[in-house]
Amino acid sequence: MISSPKTMAATATVAHVRDEFQDDHVHCVLIVDGDVLLAVVERPDLTDAGPEEPAVSRGRLRGRTVAAGEDLEQVRLAMLDQRRRRLAVVDDREALMGLLCLKRTGRGFCSDADVRARAAEREGLARLSDSWLCRDRDLGARATALTGAVQASGDA
């Protein structure tokens, strides 16, 4: 379970949520008031929504949450059956406890460590692309240059 998932305030608009969905790793947006989960918004919820509409009115909780303490294997099997990759975990007063993120393989859930590793990997790629790679827009030339550099270092 992701223990501190990214959330948006109840004042978030559809435009704000659409901005979050620019990242293809974002499957849903959690709308909260303090620690209480108000809605889980998914991409299809916004199909015909105007940009200034409150995002909270487009999401829902039913079918998108699971109670803390549920049997994880049963939850995993249900998520596979429903083709669902994300479920918000809530307590008995609907306070957000975390986010279950089913791995692509369907064999387990992402952890905080997985998220940190993915963020570090993206940061490393961003730093690399901000340096010499961004000067040359031709991917083939970059790959050839990188391959040549690796081969040359192996010859030394």
Architecture of the domain spanning 7-110: Roll (3.10)
User: How is the chain split into domains, by residue range?
Assistant: 7-110, 114-155
**Token reading at 90:** 């809530």
Q: CA of 136: how far to CAs of 128, 132, 142, in Å?
A: 12, 8, 7
Write out pLDDT tens, residues 13-55. Answer: 999 999 999 988 899 999 999 999 999 999 999 999 999 999 9
pLDDT at 97 over 90: yes
Write out pLDDT tens, residues 47-95. Answer: 999 999 999 999 999 999 999 999 999 999 999 999 999 999 999 999 9
Give me the pLDDT at residue 83, please.
Answer: 94
Q: Please list the alpha-helical segments (H only) found in the chain.
A: 14-20, 72-82, 112-130, 139-155
Give me the pLDDT at residue 126, please.
Answer: 55
H/E run at residue 32: strand 28-33
pLDDT at 133 over 50: no
Banded model confidence at residue 132, pLDDT cuts 50, 70, 90? very low
Give me the pLDDT at residue 143, please.
Answer: 43
